Amino acid sequence: MRPKTFRAARNQILYKKTEPGTCNSCSMRAQCTDNKTARQVLRHREERYVDRVKSYRGTFAYEKTLRKRRVWVEPLFGEAKDWHGLRRFRLRRMEKVNIEALC
């Protein structure tokens, strides 16, 4: 499907409807849409990245990284919250958060 328009306020792409005959001959039509004419797809602009990351789930490297994160990263954030009252950072962006965390 080709993009039809872009909604800047919501950062979404609206794709053109398919030709009516295309959907009627498809075997997956019942799972895809119940519209009588055709299907119209609306996706977030960065959703291709979300799809790519979701495809990593279940791989050995992904599971290994999650185990490391559980041991190395998450306890540090828990300590910062409990011991130092750091519920949230005042500054935004990675560089500024790193400066705030190191001070």
At 55 the pLDDT is: 93
Quote the pLDDT of residue 64: 94
| pLDDT reported for residue 20 | 66
Alpha-carbon torsion (33, 18, 42, 27), positive or negative: positive
Domain ranges of the chain: 1-51, 57-103
**Ranges of the chain whose pLDDT falls below 50:** none
Query: β-strand 42-44 against 12-15: which pairing, if any?
Result: antiparallel
Quick one: pLDDT at residue 46? 86
**Confidence (pLDDT) at 100:** 82
Query: So what's the pLDDT on residue 60?
Result: 95
Global pTM reads: 0.44
